[in-house]
A and B are shown apart, each in its own frame.
Chain A
Amino acid sequence: MPLPGKNDTLYLPPVIETIPTLVNKTGLWRFLTPVRKDKLSPCRALCPLESGIPLWMEKVKKGNWKQAWQVMERFNPFPALTGYACYQFCRSECSRGKWDEALNIREIEKAVGLWRQENYRLDRVEKRPARGKNHPPRVVVIGSGPAGLSSAYYLSRMGAEVTVLEKEPAAGGLLATGIPGYRLPRMVLEKELTILQDEGIIIKTGVEVGKDFLLNDLAANCEALLLAVGAGRDRRLHVPGDNLPGVMGAIEFLKEINLSRGANVSGTVVVVGGGNAAVDAATAAALSGAEEVFLVYRRSKEAMPAHPEEVQAAGEAGVQFLFNAVLDEIHGSLRVEKASFSKVQPSQRGDEIRRIPGEGFTIECQMIIAATGQQGSLPGLVPLPEIAAGKDAAFLETGCCLLAAGDAVTGPSNIASAIFGGRRAALKLAEILWETGDLESSLLPAPALKKGQGLVSFASLNPSLYPQQRALTHPQEEAARCFGCGNCHNCGVCWAFCPDLAIEYRNGSYEFQLDYCKGCGICAAECPAGVLFMEEVHRPGTKINER
């Protein structure tokens, strides 16, 4: 029997296999394979802008504001504006809300926006010639609301020469005329407009298409016309007396207040309607000198289309709500003196309105604000119904391309939806205006979400890695509370937990070394963002029951 060493050996050096352990491919034992699948976070699913919230949040977490802005920019060029005035749809389903308290996403977005305004450096992109032309495409955007400005921003960044036309004396559309200053400080809007102008976008105010310009003349001198004219005029009340002096539309009223034309608000004001415009107008009236403000809505409080945040602000401003009542008639000889209402049965949206016979009331008032919806201002301007629906672009005889975006397409919505509309229109125009491949993808606005990307479930997260903690005021600290649902943010938890060293950090991200992964599933169980899943992946030529 050959034995190493001798009988009197005192020490045998340890046996060392000089072949590294890497030769032993333990991954062959695996029957479940970890797979990374980024999922849709609830915040992003609810955001009208489809903003990649976890993506820029990750940068804020690290205090990297510049990168946060660069990520944000492709979804939303105006985080300062939305940071003030968005209704933060994102927050309602935040996964963090199921753990301790929903993340204050809007405040963090605001911080990114204000950082951008503070640290803005002129960064003009090289203008790129249009398809088949030797000069950059000239784009005229009609309307300087959020939709118009966002499309102007993206088109300019992509290399177009953009002119924005605004019929009001101030640019901003509803941002300037519809949203009260207490919700969106004017300085913030001004700064945003200044930045756009620095970037080379020409904004002309006080010019109206049809009056100062003809659409055809514009079309003759540009490659694309974008109609972002907003949802348009207030709908009439269609009751006797609706033409008396003292009756005003909500949009018109807000415009007057916000443009400081000195709307004469005094006495009692009645606002008819239940949407955001109604509530904004009522709040503005209450804050502008009205003695009493009533908001009359034909359905119950729960059925109000207005955002609850707005309703609460109105209540705090002193607005009195009267629900389940409809306006019958406006009385007055020379101007509004009183209005009579009928009570109706409580109803939900979509239900028919049923008056309760014999039950009604009158309110003595000096002003009535109609907020029962807006009617589009497009039909007169746009020849083709597809354009009005925002689905397609049309080409005029001059070769100019015509497209619509924002509230003009969707009807009254909100800032975020309008910015999204502008972003989508810009992408669509880019496909027409430039050869594909001409543009750097970093300059392009983010495309809309593809359908079918699964929503991340709370159960697939691992919140136990986060101490329970209510919302914090410091934006970066608050951002650190973000679970990053459904988005791998290179936290390295999988790497730390992998018992087989089968996850490696390479070139800035974590990668599976499947040759050594035994498929234990610890990484998937521990992943705080819920992006790792164990799946049966068949190797070619093997069947499960053959092993």
Chain B
Amino acid sequence: MNGNQAAALAVKLSRAQVVCAYPITPQTSLVENIAEMWARGNFPGEYVSVESEYSALSYLIGAAYAGARTFTATSSQGLAYMHELLHWASGARLPIVMVNVNRTLGAPWSLEPDQRDSLSQRDTGWIQLYCSDVQEIMDTVIVAFRLAEEVKIPCMVIYDGFSLSHTYEAVQLLRQEQADLFLNPPPKSALIHPSRPQTVQPVTDYRYMARVVQAGHRAMMQVPGRLGEIDRLFAEIFGRKYSLAEETNFGNAETIFVAAGAMAQTVKSFLPLLDGGEEKNGLLRLRLFKPLPEEEIVSILNKPSIKKLVVLDRNLSMGIGGVFAQEIKALLQGTGFRGQIFELNLAGGIDLTLDLLRRGMERINAWQDGEEKIIWGVDL
């Protein structure tokens, strides 16, 4: 099945009670899959049609206040349209789960799997999990429900448009009884009810707000630890083991690629081809991006053999550089990391090929002091 089908099935298995979404390429078939299951009576929850992404998330905020397990999905402009409500959902600590299928933000219109849409929502207080294959999409959706409900923080499950959303891969299906064992029953914390008209979260002053954001931060800092526990539980029940940050290093790698999403999977398969099996290259795959699992990443990167980091960013914060690269740089600050950090930037949705990666590495290997450390995929 493809990524969208896998996500839809996982939503069903998670027994989501309210699904409300607005279709947008490349997420459309995900919503259609859920709507079709619902229309055939095969979906346990309610599926609600709305006229925009803004309304979709507004609806779910209401449903989540009323205590329902909720899900939505979007892409690109749709996610940007939800922006204001992303803050509300996290501020209200509502465990909404959302799939975002990466797609370029206009202008001009484009459908390529650029990551700017989800990364520009980095500071909205949502957990972000990046998937790199179809199996992981199915597994991550169900993990996201458990995680979001435990820490009361909304969670975004993110994967690349087309290269994952529309690409078919063999998938080991989750079974309903396993899913029921893994997930708690939906939370029963109904804050609102039609029979009790009341104002939820009215105007407050800085004193309360200061605690709200501080508590949100503290809760966010719990996420790596909690996700680690949930991953162990998942491995027990389903037999597949995920880590917060996945390392591929055969011992003495000198160059470590850093990537998230489908690109990480691509680089992993290129590793033996790049250095002819000399095992000089390794990979750090970012799975949990928001918040970054600091401890795990430092332990993977801060090794004396590592000379270079090459961060692959299919995104760009104009005036700064790739977002992943900036996060890694900030994280390594003060850890004693001695290597050089290069960016291979594929913003605009450039497809990563072996040839492109080789030419990028040639540039990096020939790099001299004073030259720009961003290697532009578009120039290769």
Contact = CB atoms under 8 A, between A and B. Distances in A.
Interface string B227-264: 00000000000000000000000000000000000000
Contact of A4 (B200, B201, B208): B208
B222 interface: yes
Given A20-B198, A21-B197, A14 B211 contact: no
B199 to A, nearest CB: 4
A25 to B, nearest CB: 14
A1 B207 contact: yes
B211 A9 contact: yes
SS of A interface (majority): loop
A15 B202 CA distance: 7
A122 interface: no
A459 interface: no
A274 to B, nearest CB: 60
B211 A16 contact: no
B214 A21 contact: no
Given A10-B218, A11-B219, A19 B198 contact: yes
A22 B197 CA distance: 8
Nearest to A4: B211
B191 A10 contact: no
B211 A12 contact: yes
Contact of A8 (B196, B199, B201, B218): B218
B215 A16 contact: no
Contacts of B201: 14-16
A134 interface: no
B215 A18 contact: no
Interface in B158-213: 191, 196-202, 204, 207-208, 210-212
A15 B204 contact: yes
Interface residues of A, number: 20
Contacts of A4: 207-208, 211
A7 B214 contact: yes
B198 A5 contact: no
B199 A16 contact: yes
A22 B204 CA distance: 19
B215 A12 contact: yes
Contact of B215 (A1, A2, A5): A5
A9 B210 CA distance: 12
Contact of B211 (A3, A17, A18, A22): A3
Contacts, number: 60
Interface string A17-39: 11111100000000000000000
Contacts of A16: 191, 198-201
B199 A21 contact: yes
Contacts of B151: 10
Nearest to B204: A15
A14 B200 contact: yes
A441 B210 CA distance: 68
B115 to A, nearest CB: 29
Nearest to B92: A14
A11 B152 contact: yes
Contacts of A15: 200-202, 204, 208
A22 B196 CA distance: 11
A4 to B, nearest CB: 6
A19 B208 CA distance: 19
Interface string A144-180: 0000000000000000000000000000000000000
Nearest to B196: A20
A17 B92 contact: no
Contacts of B208: 4, 12, 15
A1 B211 CA distance: 12
B308 interface: no
Contacts of A1: 207
B12 interface: no
A11 B196 CA distance: 24
Given A12-B212, A21-B199, A3 B219 contact: no
B218 A21 contact: no
Nearest to A20: B197
A5 B211 contact: yes
B358 to A, nearest CB: 47
6 contacts: A4-B207, A4-B208, A12-B93, A12-B211, A20-B196, A21-B197
Give the top 9 A-B pairs by smallest Cβ distance, nearest first: A20-B197, A17-B199, A10-B219, A9-B215, A5-B211, A14-B201, A17-B202, A12-B215, A10-B218
Given A3-B207, A7-B214, 12 more contacts: A1-B207, A3-B211, A4-B207, A4-B211, A5-B211, A9-B214, A9-B218, A12-B93, A12-B208, A14-B93, A16-B199, A20-B197
